[in-house]
């Protein structure tokens, strides 16, 4: 908004500027003063070139600047949305990890407390009971899985 006001003020000043004479002189304190009406005669006349402003060119530049700013704002909003999405994904991942840890811990406890373990058979209702070596391997695998899922928690 501030830039819009600045551009409008500059256009107003440029539109009302006249190609007049500019003098440079020094005041009583020795400071340089630029003026169109010198108070003292030993003033040096400066050559100042002025030209009229092309309002169509200014409007085009203004439009392109506004488009660039809108694109930058959209990119910033998109970046903020991606950042929020990434944060939410990390939080969901933490929740999923906790859930997987709890499930693997329950499975391990079940394997350790069960006297007999089985695998489902090919048809419904069919079971194949595991022998001692297979039970030990299943318990070791359940322990390994639990340690993997619960490592960072």
Separation between Cα atoms, residue 67 and residue 2, nearest integer Å: 16
By the 8 A CB rule, do 58 and 11 touch? yes
Which alpha helices (DSSP H) does 30-131 contain, by range?
55-113
The model carries a pTM of: 0.41
Q: Residue 9: its pLDDT value, please?
A: 57
By the 8 A CB rule, do 34 and 23 touch? yes
Separation between Cα atoms, residue 106 and residue 9, nearest integer Å: 73
Give 34-90 pLDDT, tens digit per residue.
888 777 667 777 787 777 888 888 999 999 999 999 999 999 998 888 888 888 777
Separation between Cα atoms, residue 153 and residue 150, nearest integer Å: 5
Q: Residue 97: its pLDDT value, please?
A: 83
Domain limits, the chain: 1-47, 89-153
Query: Which helix (H) or strand (E) segment is 139 a member of?
Result: helix 132-149
Place of tokens 């001692």: 132
Give 100-143 pLDDT, tens digit per residue.
889 999 999 998 998 888 888 888 888 888 898 989 999 999 99
Of 82, 59, 63, 83, residue with least CA distance to 71: 63
């Amino acid at each position: 908004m501030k830039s819009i006001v600045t551009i409008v003020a500059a256009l107003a000043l440029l539109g009302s500027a006249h190609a007049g004479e500019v003098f440079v002189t020094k005041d009583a304190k020795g400071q340089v003063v630029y003026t169109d009406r010198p108070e003292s005669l030993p003033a040096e006349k400066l050559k100042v070139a002025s030209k009229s402003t092309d309002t169509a060119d200014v409007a085009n530049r203004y439009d392109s600047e506004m488009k660039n700013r809108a694109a930058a704002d959209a990119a910033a909003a998109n970046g903020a949305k991606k950042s929020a999405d990434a944060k939410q994904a990390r939080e969901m991942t933490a929740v999923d990890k906790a859930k997987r840890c709890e499930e693997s811990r329950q499975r391990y406890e079940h394997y350790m407390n069960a006297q007999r373990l089985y695998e489902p058979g090919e048809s419904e209702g069919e079971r194949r009971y595991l022998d001692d070596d297979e039970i030990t391997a299943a318990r070791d695998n359940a322990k390994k899985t639990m340690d993997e899922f619960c490592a960072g928690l």
